[in-house]
Amino acid sequence: MNDRTCIVTRKQAEPDDLIRFVVGPDSAVVPDIKRNLPGRGCWVSADRLHIDKAAAKNLFARAFKAQVVVPPDLGGMIDGLLSRHALGMLGLARKAGAISLGATKVESAVRGGLALFVLHATEASDDGVRKISQARRATVHLGGPAILAYKLFSEVELSLALG
């Protein structure tokens, strides 16, 4: 139980639900996605609205007890960092053999209850998405786990990450 407090909501949460920020040597606020940068940190809920609110209301300066420089598009910067991190983790999972690729293999993993989630490319065809959705519903109907589906990355991004 290493609960941290969000500087915007003042609510305690698990570190996995928050983003850590530190002050760089140039007094700039730096997101610490991997939580390994040195220095005093503050935490904000992993929600774009809370991050933008912290920047707009100068809550970082209050949390660090110093004047700090907040990058103009901090929320966009964090979106990019989180996307790169997620795609990197997908690449590692692919190399470890933990990802099924292709409609037939994915459908088999879903129907067998082996899939934790399904990740479609944002431009995936409606027919392909429908077939996998049918397999997900059938799995739940037969008493298997509910498998969520997401459309987070483009086909190009997924191809680069998964090879």
User: All domains of the chain, ordered by start, with CATH?
Assistant: 4-81 (3.30.1230.10), 100-162 (no CATH)
pLDDT of residue 3: 86
Question: What is the model's pLDDT at position 163?
Answer: 83
pLDDT of residue 134: 95
Average pLDDT of the residues in 23-28: 94
pLDDT, tens only, 104-151: 999 999 999 899 999 999 999 999 999 999 999 999 999 989 999 999
Beta bridge partners of 31: 21
pLDDT reading at 1 higher than 70: no
Give me the helices (H) in the chain, please: 48-56, 59-64, 74-95, 103-111, 126-141, 155-162
Helix axis angle for 155-162 and 74-95, nearest 10°, is 50
The predicted pLDDT at position 113 comes to 87
For residue 2, the model assigns a pLDDT of 77
| pTM for the model | 0.82
Mean pLDDT, range 28-51, rounded to an integer:
94
pLDDT of residue 105: 94
Distance in angstroms between the alpha carbons of the first and the last residue of the chain: 38
For residues 145 and 72, what is the distance between their CA atoms, to the nearest angstrom?
Answer: 43
User: Average per-residue pLDDT in the chain?
Assistant: 94
Phi–psi pair at 155, nearest 5 degrees: -60, -40
- Is the CB of residue 148 less than 8 Å from the CB of residue 117? yes
The dihedral over CA atoms of 106, 109, 115, 121, expressed in degrees to the nearest 10, equals 0
Give CA–CA dist 153/156, Å, rounded.
Answer: 8
